[in-house]
Amino acid sequence: MSDIIKMISPSTIGDSDIGMNLFGQQYIRDLRSAGENAQQSGARFESITFDILKYCNNGRYRITREPYFNCHFDLNRKGDFQIVSAKRTIHIECKQLGNAESHFDKLSHCLLNLIAGCYGNEFWLVYDYNREMGNKNKIHKLITRCKKIKEQVALQGITFECIHIDDLPKQLGQV
């Protein structure tokens, strides 16, 4: 993650809690206290994602914040990001899963929108979680489920990627 830290603007880093893993690499941890608002944490994660999208862009794509789409209830909604290159349009939703508690369940709405084709022909789910939590079972289940959904939506002509924030720069290199 130390390379990711370099991609994030100082103002965003200033609002983040930086940790050090066993390998001496810095990472952003999201250890919410009971008083911290999950919406603030989500907004901070979107800012981090936006900084990485900008840092990795060498003019290959255009970034749109809060693109409109119709959800599976056919209601007009705002997403997180859309990147458009000469050949691709990619809808991106960002999810900070923290300790993978109740907000983890909100992924179902996002994945149902994907299955219903609401995000277009290409969709990226960019996520992060509290890396210091002991039981990562829910994160493994998310990854396993996303692999199955990726196969399912491919039959509909939809490209889906479930991307941990650390892997976002590599994924952007392919746009």
Confidence at 16, pLDDT banded by 50, 70, 90: low
Res. 21: pLDDT tops 60: yes
% of the chain beyond a pLDDT of 90: 59
Residue 108: partners with Cβ closer than 8 Å, 6 or more residues away:
none
Res. 71: pLDDT tops 60: yes
Confidence at 34, pLDDT banded by 50, 70, 90: very low
Q: If phi over 0 gives left and psi between -120 and 50 gives alpha, with beta otherwise, what is residue 129?
A: beta
Res. 114: pLDDT tops 70: yes
Q: Residue type at 163?
A: I
Confidence at 36, pLDDT banded by 50, 70, 90: low
Q: What would be the CATH architecture of the domain defined by 2-172?
A: 3-Layer(aba) Sandwich (3.40)
Work out the average pLDDT over 128-155: 89
Per-domain boundaries in the chain: 2-172
For residue 99, the model assigns a pLDDT of 79
Integer-rounded Cα Rg, in Å, for the chain is 16
The answer to whether the beta carbons of residues 81 and 53 sit under 8 Å apart is yes
For residue 69, the model assigns a pLDDT of 97
Q: How far apart are CA 102 and CA 162, in angstroms?
A: 20
Give pTM, 2 decimals.
0.82
The angle formed by the CA atoms of residues 56, 62 and 162, to the nearest 5 degrees, is 60
